[in-house]
Each structure stands twice: as C-alpha cells, then as structure tokens.
Amino acid sequence: MKELLELYWVFCKMGAVCFGGGYAMLPIIQAEIVDKRGWATSEEIMDYYAIGQCTPGVIAVNTSTFIGNKRAGIPGAIAATAGFVTPSVIIIMIISSLLKNFAHITYVERAFSGIRICVAVLIINATVKLWKSAVKDKIGLVICLGVFLLSAFTPLSPVIFVVLSGFAGYFICKWKGASE
C-alpha cells in the first residue's frame, strides 16, 4: 500500500506541473523517475513514449500507466494514472468555470502566450536529451532524419512512424549482424 501511495503522490506532483502535453512531461519524468528515483531507465522511458503514442489516450497518462505497471503491476498502473490525472481534473474544473469570464483580458492572453513559449522550450530540451540517448550511430541518425522529414512534410500518423522505425531498426540490425 505504501508503494501505491508513493506512486500516486509522485505522479500527482508531476501532473500538477505538467503543462503543455505529454512532450513537456519528458524532462520532468527524466528528472523524477529516471534520475531521482531510478524507477526506469532513459531507454525504457523512450519505449514507453513510443508505445504511448501508438495507443489511444494522452501520451503522458499512458507513460504514467506503464511506469506504474512496471513498479507495482495493475494496482501500480492505476495509482500512477490516477495520481497523474487528479491535478488536471481539478485544474480543468476550476479554469473552465473561470476562463469564460477572463479569457478576453489582455493580461490573461499575454500570460498564455508566455506559457506556450515555455512549453515549446521544454519540448526542445526534452528532444535534445532524447537525441543524446537515442541516436547512437549512423543508422539511428538516418532513421531519425527520415522520420523527421516524413513527419514534417506528410500527414502520416505517428503510429506509422513508430512501426516503420521499429521494422527499419530490426531489419538493419539483423542485416548488419549477418554481414559481420
């Protein structure tokens, strides 16, 4: 029970400060789950993010579920997920009741503009950290650039990129291993 409460509380704290969606959560997960607690490795977090993008739902919530499941099975998945969404539900209820009255105010508009910039920077920071641990050789660089170009210039689903990248990595590594 203690571990479930700890999972709930850790993810509740992260959910309270995670603005801007799942990608903005990457640096927070890295710091809290990987660096501070050692509950998962950077590679596992990347795997959870990849799978989380392919499954229905919010990436950050899916990732919380995967980490909770790794720590304490299904009860852990439920505790981590509930912890992560609790602050959002409370904040959304408060904001929705107030926003219609204040959204048109210049100061509120400017604050949201600043928050969007901050979220973009957090996403870039997370991308740089993931880049360092994910792109380890020329094959990884080719796959990365291919996915980047396809995602920038086509309307393909991220699911397709994840599946194609998985196949490419598998077959390239298999071919590379057979040629050695």
pLDDT tops 80 at residue 31:
yes
Q: Please tell me which of 73-82, 126-135, 137-146, 147-156 the model is most confident about, judged by mean pLDDT.
A: 73-82
How far is Cα 82 from Cα 158, in angstroms, rounded to an integer?
Answer: 26
Mean pLDDT value across residues 50-62: 80
pLDDT tops 80 at residue 176:
no
Considering the domain architecture, whether residues 157 and 70 belong to the same structural domain is answered as no
Mean pLDDT value across residues 151-173: 87
Q: Per the structure, how many domains does the chain have? A: 2
pLDDT tops 80 at residue 22:
no
Considering the domain architecture, whether residues 59 and 113 belong to the same structural domain is answered as yes
Q: Return the number of other C-beta atoms located less than 10 Å from residue 4's C-beta.
A: 18
pTM over 0.75: no
Q: Which residues contact 10 (CB under 8 A, 6 or more apart)?
A: 32, 33, 37, 80, 83
Mean pLDDT value across residues 165-176: 84
Q: Which two tokens stand for residue 7?
A: 């999972």
Considering the domain architecture, whether residues 109 and 64 belong to the same structural domain is answered as yes
| Domain range for 17 | 2-133
